Amino acid sequence: MWQFMHKLSSPKYFYDLSGKMLPWFILATAILLIYGLYAGLILAPPDYQQGDGFRIIYVHVPCAIWSLGIYTFMTITAAIGLIWRMKMAHIMVRASSVIGAWITFAALATGSIWGKPMWGTYWVWDARLTSELILLFLYLGFIGLQTAIPNRQTAAKAGAILLLVGFVDIPIIHFSVDWWNTLHQGASLSLLSKPTISPSMLYPLLAMIVGFGLLFATILLMRTRNEVLLWENQSRWVQRLISC
């Protein structure tokens, strides 16, 4: 395991390996998203209370889950980069940030669209919504920090510190509906309890959650490969790659 991690820390090894992995990630992502959208939007029956309006969960829930998941991934990877001084860790964090920001924005946007018929308004300063908005600001703050500091190594260290400090928002978002009296409904999925939705609605939702995770991984590999070329543009192997 450690030998593989050591190899993965090499930009050239990662670039070569990710090029071989990308087609499989793209295929798996397409299969899951096509199935999830078809089964969720067409095959699943209308909700007995919300009718067809509930179908927005097939985008909103995966986006909400992965808005937290991507930030957690970035924080752990940034900590690895700080402790073991792994260049590839910092590169992957930088490549993840824009994806995470868009996913979080999509979670807020779809949540607002869903909230209008359910709550009668697009936005309330609910604990879950407010803490999710703070998460978007954390993503944007990280991106702004990377842009503002010209030295990539300094920017990576400063960004890692911001991620570690901002991580306190993740448990707040997750437990907000339990800690405070909020308009936002509780979780329909839990690792420790039985799902509260029927299998005909559950399976497409699970497919979309995994599909969005693979979509993130696919875009991350693409963006990381580009970042590697920028970080290593003076390396011999990059020069040979460009000249081919």
Q: Which helix (H) or strand (E) holds 136?
A: helix 127-148
Lowest mean pLDDT among 4-18, 72-86, 177-191: 177-191
From CA 89, how far away is CA 163, in angstroms rounded? 13
- Write out pLDDT tens, residues 146-157: 999 999 889 999
pTM (predicted TM-score) = 0.93
- Write out pLDDT tens, residues 171-209: 999 888 777 666 566 666 665 566 668 888 999 999 999
CA angle 237, 239, 244 (to 5 degrees): 95
Helix, strand, coil content of the chain in percent (nearest 5): 80, 0, 20
From CA 146, how far away is CA 234, in angstroms rounded? 21
Residue 40, class by beta-carbon neighbours within 10 Å (0-12 exposed, 13-18 middle, 19+ buried)? buried
Placement of tokens 């939705």 in the chain: 197
Half-sphere exposure of 172 (CA within 13 A, CB side): 14
Pairwise pLDDT comparison (7 vs 52), residue with the higher score: 52
Contacts of 59 (CB under 8 A, 6+ apart): 106, 110, 208
